[in-house]
Chains A and B, each alone.
Chain A
Amino acid sequence: MPSKLIESTMRTENLPHIWCPGCGHGILMRDVAQAIDNLGLDHDKVVIVSGIGCSSRAAGYMDFNTLHTTHGRAIAFATGVKLANPELTVIVITGDGDAAAIGGNHFIHACRRNIDITVVVFNNNIYGMTGGQYSPTTPTGEKGTTAPYGNIDYDFDLPELAKAAGATFTGRCTAYHVPQAIKLLEAAIQNKGLSMVEGLSVCPTYYGRKNKKGGVIKMYNWQKNNCIDVKKAEKMDPEELEGKILMGEFYHKEKPEYCEQYEAIIEKCGGNK
């Protein structure tokens, strides 16, 4: 029996999902649904926009207005949805390849505009849907089917990238730390502006196998033992933080939002009569 949350936020007729056993995407999708539910948003007024890849299949399972777009373009489609009807709550679910490689331009420019969209990047460190090629977040030195001798690219720090580009809310959560993820997503959705949350996923099938990460349980345990809340990290020594990944709310700043500013232009032009 599906839980009450699943009944009310998922299209149960389309479940079970297509993700591999042990994949973190299902957990992150549930976290997004729980955050929406906790905020009490009207489901008819929520739009989930996704691109192409493993992450982007989430849209089809979620019982909201869902737009499964072309590869890399989710944020650009979402920009049109939001500006055309600012009353809608627009959440983009995208992946590391979708958001940071093919869709990188839309990603940074949406941040720059500070348009009221929440971008959740399900980061599995690999192109999963196409079978394990290295992505912009595959750590340097690690392997993918197209990096058989080790990846020589440097990987993106997505929340840093978003902040530098102008996003007004950034953070990171993991598939392991569920309550923390839900809280972070709630705050991100509530921010009036561009919010970017990186959700560290787990890809045992491709990333894990290619890089000998030791299987599903070991990969989740790695997240458990190596991801430190940013507030806790403040009190820790640099040596203790060696090799650790920070999570939690990184950045939150008030700045005029794009749609509100456009409404002021309409007002000025007399277009609201």
Chain B
Amino acid sequence: MDKKRFRFVQGNEACVEGALTAGMRFYSGYPITPSTEIAEQSAIRLPQLGGHFIQMEDEIGGIAAALGASAAGVKAMTATSGPGFSLKQENIGYGCLAEIPIVVVDVQRSGPSTGMPTSPSQGDVMQARWGTHGDHPMIAIAPSSVQDTYNQTVRCFNLAEKYRTPVILLMDEIIGHLREGLEVIPAEELEIVNRGDHNITGMAYAVGEGEYVPEFAPFGEGERYNITGLFHNDAGFPTNDNDFTDKIEHRLMAKIEQNLDDILDWEEYMLDDAEYAIVAYGGTVRAAKGAIEKLRAEGVKVGLFRPVTVWPFPEEAMKKVADKVKAVVVAEHNYGQLLLEVERVIKDRAELSFVGKVDGTTLKPEDIQAKVKEVL
């Protein structure tokens, strides 16, 4: 067996391998449980590939340096957990408006505040969508296994490059510290999106008719333009022009909204004949699948709807599932966050119920099984 290709690793390590396969050559971050192994592994692996790792003085510096590296033309990543994710929010918004691709990994832990640093949670789901101020686009992907972490990290980089925006890999402690088999699929066997050649135009942020994403001009290659977190014109210079501000805000939102077919991803598991649907994502998917196995053995026709892209939420697919089942049970490691989005989407299409966990332990298949039985 090819030992380089087939390994037994934890999710955090799979994230780094996926990032390297996707072309990450810069990592900057700050140590925080339970994401620290991502920094440690990046520190080992990056110089081996000619890339750069730097441990910054704080979480804000971690994302700022990654944005700077990306502006210089290098694929960059930073990783953190709840408290650090809070600290990074301002610069996530900077990346959205300045349109700088980076990947931000959040290995969620129990919160608020310092919470329980080594305990699992999915309490940052709404923060991932709305944590930074102002209206902004957002892509956040929740992996549910070690292999999935590898694959989805590659996808995060691809989406970040394609849409020139920060993309969040919304992991959780369960997946980050879970050890499973991983196949390190080489880049040649995957789709890898790289930045195209940039033609010097003096209009670094201009887009063609019907296009939403300007091509990226890395620093140092002749397009001496301005990058700013202020609303800016096509050349990148600050503007107070309200019509232009309206135009750029709409374009930023549209580049995601108009490309949902390309961006959205979800998994449907045993839903064909289902009368009940469990909605779960990330680490919770494993307990949900366990619950389905138990319930099916008891003759309950139940399946799983798993948003892979938590943001944007796979709205139409969720509606279709809600239309054909009697009840939807949302299971997540929080007080009910994605529940709100499911509620908004399905309205009265099906009965809605929730099972959560906020005590720092994991949802067990039995917890979800019991909740489904309540709504039978």
B4 vs chain A, min Cβ distance (A): 15
Chain A 67-110 interface residues, beta-carbon cutoff 8 Å to B: 67-70, 72-73, 76-85, 87-88, 105-106, 108-109
Instruction: Indicate whether A262 reaches chain B with its CB closer than 8 angstroms.
Output: yes
* Contact residues in B for A63 (Cβ distance below 8 Å): 224
In the complex, A77→B64 CA distance in Å?
Answer: 5
In the complex, A272→B46 CA distance in Å?
Answer: 11
Instruction: Indicate whether B178 reaches chain A with its CB closer than 8 angstroms.
Output: no
Question: Which of B71-79, B118-126, B157-165, B317-325 participates in binding chain A?
Answer: B71-79
* Contact residues in A for B237 (Cβ distance below 8 Å): 11, 14, 60
Are B219 and A105 in contact (CB-based, < 8 A)? no
* Contact residues in B for A59 (Cβ distance below 8 Å): 226, 228
Instruction: Indicate whether B276 reaches chain A with its CB closer than 8 angstroms.
Output: no
* Contact residues in B for A105 (Cβ distance below 8 Å): 57-58, 61
Asked if A83 meets B71 with Cβ closer than 8 Å, knowing A73-B64, A77-B65, the reply is: no
In the complex, A63→B50 CA distance in Å?
Answer: 31
Are B52 and A68 in contact (CB-based, < 8 A)? no
* Contact residues in A for B91 (Cβ distance below 8 Å): 70, 73
Are A45 and B227 in contact (CB-based, < 8 A)? no
* Contact residues in A for B60 (Cβ distance below 8 Å): 72-73, 76
Instruction: Indicate whether A237 reaches chain B with its CB closer than 8 angstroms.
Output: no
Q: Which residue of A lies closest to B62 (CB)?
A: A76
Partner of A76, one of B49, B64, B219, B230: B64
Instruction: Indicate whether B47 reaches chain A with its CB closer than 8 angstroms.
Output: yes
In the complex, A60→B47 CA distance in Å?
Answer: 34
Are B94 and A70 in contact (CB-based, < 8 A)? yes
Asked if A70 meets B229 with Cβ closer than 8 Å, knowing A64-B224, A79-B65, the reply is: yes
A15 vs chain B, min Cβ distance (A): 11
Chain B 210-233 interface residues, beta-carbon cutoff 8 Å to A: 219-222, 224-230
In the complex, A109→B55 CA distance in Å?
Answer: 11
Instruction: Indicate whether A16 reaches chain B with its CB closer than 8 angstroms.
Output: no
Partner of B225, one of A66, A76, A82, A85: A66
Asked if A67 meets B50 with Cβ closer than 8 Å, knowing A60-B228, A60-B237, A105-B61, the reply is: no
Asked if A65 meets B219 with Cβ closer than 8 Å, knowing A85-B73, A105-B58, the reply is: yes
Partner of A70, one of B47, B74, B76, B90: B90
Instruction: Indicate whether B26 reaches chain A with its CB closer than 8 angstroms.
Output: yes
* Contact residues in B for A247 (Cβ distance below 8 Å): none
In the complex, A14→B226 CA distance in Å?
Answer: 12
A/B interface sample: 10 pairs, CB < 8 A = A14-B237, A43-B224, A60-B226, A65-B220, A68-B227, A69-B64, A70-B64, A87-B220, A108-B57, A271-B51
Report the 3 A-B pairs with minimum CB-CB distance, sorted nearest first. A80-B68, A80-B65, A76-B64
New A-B contacts (7) at CB < 8 Å, excluding given A76-B68, A79-B54: A67-B226, A67-B227, A79-B56, A80-B54, A80-B64, A80-B71, A262-B47
